[in-house]
């Protein structure tokens, strides 16, 4: 699951740095913007069958690859 999330992030951001730096701030680095965030949530829903309403999306909880992986794990339980 972790590798799938990283592959998805790499595809969305166009950067392989997300694979090697799990603490990279996706927003501050400019790799994710609001449109890419919506796409990320849609892809996670389709891939892992988890739903994250955009209205409940807290940027600070999703701003690194490690946090995205943790949130997916949490939402799958």
Alpha carbons 15 and 51: distance in angstroms, whole number? 25
| pLDDT of the residue at 55 | 81
Mean pLDDT of 61-68: 97
Delineate the domains of the chain, giving CATH numbers in brackets: 1-76 (1.10.1200.10)
Residue 69 has pLDDT above 80, yes or no: yes
13-40 tens-digit pLDDT:
999 999 999 999 999 999 999 899 999 9
Give one DSSP letter per residue of the chain, joined into a string: -HHHHHHHHHHHHS-THHHH-TT--TTTTTS--HHHHHHHHHHHHHHH-----GGG--GGGSSSHHHHHHHHHHHH-
Residue 54 has pLDDT above 80, yes or no: no
Alpha carbons 71 and 60: distance in angstroms, whole number? 11
């Amino acid at each position: 699951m972790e590798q799938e999330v990283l592959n998805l992030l790499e595809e969305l951001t166009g950067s392989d740095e997300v694979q090697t730096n799990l603490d990279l701030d996706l927003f501050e680095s400019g790799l994710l913007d609001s449109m890419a965030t919506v796409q990320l949530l849609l892809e996670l829903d389709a891939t892992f069958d988890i739903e994250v309403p955009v209205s409940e999306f807290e940027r600070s909880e999703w701003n690194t690859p490690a946090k995205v992986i943790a949130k997916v794990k949490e939402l799958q339980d």
